[in-house]
Every structure is written in C-alpha cells, then in structure tokens.
Amino acid sequence: MVDVTAKQPTLRVATACARIRFPRETFAALTAAGFETAKGPVIATAIVAGTMAAKRTHELIPFCHPLGLERCDVEIAPAGADTLEVRCTAAVHHRTGVEMEALTGVAIAALAVYDMCKSLSHDIVIEQTRLLEKRGGKSDFVAEPPA
C-alpha cells in the first residue's frame, strides 16, 4: 500500500457510474414487471450489493486501504429505452481517496443486475464503468462527458 501517514485527513468524495444495456425486449419485459425477476427485486438487491461491495473494497483489491465509509449512496435508474445507469457516491474523512470504493460499488451493483436478469437474456452488456468525479486530497477530478 502507499504510505499515507504524512497526509492530512480531509473529506474525500468520489462518484462513479456504469451502464447496463439490455436487449430492448428484455428491458421492456423488466420494466413491465416492475424490475422484478424470479430472484426478486432487481434494483433493491443491486443497491444492497453495491453498498456491501464498496464497504469491502479493501478485501477485494489488494493495495486499497481499509476505510470506514461515512457515506455510500448507490442509485439505479433507467437511462433510455434499453439501459440502466448505476451511480455510486462514497465519502470519508481520511488520508486517502474513495475512488476505488465508488468504482467497486457500481461494478458489483451492475453484476448483481446481470445475475438477477440472466434468466431473461445473456445478451446484457455492462459498459462505461468509470469515475465521474472525485473531490478532496491533492487534486480534484471531473470527467469529460463521453464522446
């Protein structure tokens, strides 16, 4: 791990997103079913999965510092006729950032959606997993809109 002992704790906030693209018929069926499948409520389950993953990032990615997140918000909403967008915002007062926690949150939430919907179609694509912004620490970052 990187030595962060000399850094001052500051508020660190990061937001990441991912998109989940479905075949149109599958997305229409999911929407009509209130995003419920045989496995249960898709969006609620994925939100819990993403939150749990963000809190355990240091157990999944070898050189991440363990952080006691003070905030973790996972949101999932339709973004077009065949797509869901997942966003995760993580925050902590610490010496290191929370980008990996936000990215892990969206990645695992998206994978949970895939798992819960794979009985409807295996042609589901998880795409554009990326950091949108981070604040605090040495430098801030805001992503350019995708081309």
Per the model's pLDDT, the better-predicted residue between 114 and 147 turns out to be 114
Query: Annotated catalytic sites, by residue?
Result: 115
pLDDT tens-digit map of 107-140? 999 999 999 999 999 999 999 999 999 999 889 9
Task: Please list, in sequence order, all residues whose beta carbon lies within 8 angstroms of the beta carbon of residue 40, skipping any fewer than 6 positions away.
Answer: 116
Share of the chain above pLDDT 90, in %: 92
Higher pLDDT, 19 or 7: 19
- pLDDT of 34 above 70: yes
Mention every residue, 6+ apart, whose C-beta is less than 8 A from residue 115. 39
Are the CB atoms for 4 and 65 separated by under 8 Å? yes
Residue ranges and CATH numbers for the domains of the chain are 17-136 (3.30.70.640)
> In whole numbers, what is the pLDDT of the chain averaged over residues?
96
Residue 147 has what pLDDT?
Answer: 64
How does pLDDT run across 92-106, given as a tens digit for each residue? 999 999 999 999 999
How far is 113 from 46, CA to CA, in rounded Å? 6
Extract the tokens encoding 110: 């998206």
* C-alpha span between 132 and 78 (Å, rounded): 18
Query: Which residue from 139, 75, 140, 137 is spatially nearest to 102, judged by alpha carbons?
Result: 75
Pairing mode of beta strands 125-135, 141-142: antiparallel
Q: What is the mean pLDDT of residues 52-63?
A: 97
Q: What is the pTM of this model?
A: 0.95
Averaged over 37-54, what is the pLDDT? 98
The three-state secondary structure class of 132 is strand
Q: According to the model, what pLDDT value does residue 82 have? A: 97
Predicted pLDDT at 1? 86
Percent of the chain past pLDDT 70, that is, above it, reads: 99
